[in-house]
Structure 1
């Protein structure tokens, strides 16, 4: 049986500097899809100058941040001393654990001639026991992201988190979750079987799609019912099109979210702010971190 859409909506502008950004999640209908509590879409932009200015150093606690770079070069800094540049197709993943400060700078890809910048940032809510752990970090280049080429050649699926068939993403997971990037050629389709009680959503970043016989427009975020069933995506466009599917099991613990923190109670939030203002999350030494690899 085909799953039914619960709602669809478009994001709200949340620009940072010259980066045009749409805040997709949370939205007026949903605060989370499985463990995913946040999604920003950095829309395709041409950048001709390299900047060393990031989005601004800021704290996190209780979540893992995941930046998926379709096009460009993402430079990561954090107060635990982690530093890396990740290029087109790669992922920056950071478990904020019990508190960290980080910053990211998104530029065009120095390894290619393309000046295009296009990316997504997700926040993944962590179980309460994991929120108390030390921060962790992974820089994952595009060739480390598992990919499934469909047998008859109409497209492919990249496993950014979770698993698909025999493929397993590099990123650790602490609950049942998945994030797939799917590309379909014109006229091609893809079908996914979704188990009962799993939350699942689709996001159409730049092109329209037909999903379970409903037509949705570019920029649409669509959430589906939680009954077991199938999702069939078809590309009716004249060019290859990209789609995101993501979700997982429902978060079972209380959620308290404020600013850059996602915890389990208002007291946890207050403690997160207290520790941040006390300087417990440390600081970023930008030049020292850059000098390690330059």
Structure 2
């Protein structure tokens, strides 16, 4: 049985510097899909020269951030002393836990002549018991991301978070969760089964796609019902199509979000701000002077 669409929508502009960004989640219909409570799409864009577009140093608490760099070069600094770069196809994951400062920049890939950037940033809500844990950081390069070909030469699937068949991501799981990048070749199709009660949504970053017999437009976010069923991706165009598919088990604890903090109560939000202003999240020291 094919899953039914609950709703579809498009994001709101939230540009930073030279980057064109659409905020996809939260939206007017939902605040979360499984543990995912935030999604920004940094749309594909060519740049005439190297740039320095970043968020600047800022705090987080109660979540894990995940940046998936499809094209470009992502650089990370944080107040726990972590620093790394990931390149096209790589992932940066940071568990904010009980509080951290970080700074991320997105630039063109210095290893290649490709002058384009394209990326996603997700926030993954942590269970209450994990919100008080110490921060952690993990950089995953493109060749470390699990990937396999789809049947009948239909395309490929990358497992950014969670697992699919025999593929398992290196990103830690604190609840049942998944994040897949699926590419379906022209004239091909691919069907994936979703279990009962799992929350799941799709996003179309680059082209129109047909999902369960309905054509959706590039830039659309589509959420499906929670009954067990299938999602069929059909590509009737002349070029490959990409689908970002993500979700997981419902987050059953209270969600209170404000600014860069996602906690379980208003008092915990107040604590997060108080500890930040008291300097308890530490300090970033890096060569770019963002402190």
**Normalised TM-score (structure 2):** 0.97
Distance apart, 1:77 and its partner CA: 0.6
Q: Residues 216 and 288 (structure 1 numbering): CA distance in 2 closer, same or farther, change over 3 Å? A: closer
Equivalence map 1:33-48=2 (5 Å): 33-48=33-48
Distance of 1:199 and 1:57 partners within structure 2: 32
**Residue 151 (str. 1) matches residue 151 (str. 2):** yes
Distance apart, 1:235 and its partner CA: 1.2
Equivalence map 1:55-70=2 (5 Å): 55-70=55-70
Equivalence map 1:178-193=2 (5 Å): 178-193=178-193
**RMSD (CA atoms):** 1.3
Any conservation in 1 of the 2:98–2:132 contact (CA below 8 Å)? Answer: yes
Tell me the alpha carbon deviations over residues 17-41 of structure 1, each in whole angstroms, 9 at most, x when there is no partner: 1110000000000100000000000
Distance apart, 1:289 and its partner CA: 10
Moved over 6 A (4+): none
Distance of 1:39 and 1:53 partners within structure 2: 18
Distance of 1:173 and 1:289 partners within structure 2: 33
Tell me how many residue pairs correspond in the alignment: 290
Distance apart, 1:150 and its partner CA: 1.4
Distance apart, 1:47 and its partner CA: 2.2
Q: Residues 269 and 178 (structure 1 numbering): CA distance in 2 closer, same or farther, change over 3 Å? A: same
Q: Residues 289 and 172 (structure 1 numbering): CA distance in 2 closer, same or farther, change over 3 Å? A: farther
Any conservation in 2 of the 1:51–1:105 contact (CA below 8 Å)? Answer: no
Distance of 2:155 and 2:89 partners within structure 1: 16
Distance apart, 1:286 and its partner CA: 1.1
Any conservation in 2 of the 1:59–1:100 contact (CA below 8 Å)? Answer: yes
2:151 is paired with a residue of what secondary structure?
Answer: coil
Any conservation in 1 of the 2:212–2:232 contact (CA below 8 Å)? Answer: yes
Aligned position for 2:261: 261
Unaligned residue ranges in structure 2 (runs of 5+) = none
Any conservation in 2 of the 1:64–1:95 contact (CA below 8 Å)? Answer: yes
Q: Residues 228 and 53 (structure 1 numbering): CA distance in 2 closer, same or farther, change over 3 Å? A: closer
Distance apart, 1:210 and its partner CA: 0.6
Unaligned residue ranges in structure 1 (runs of 5+) = none
Any conservation in 2 of the 1:207–1:237 contact (CA below 8 Å)? Answer: no
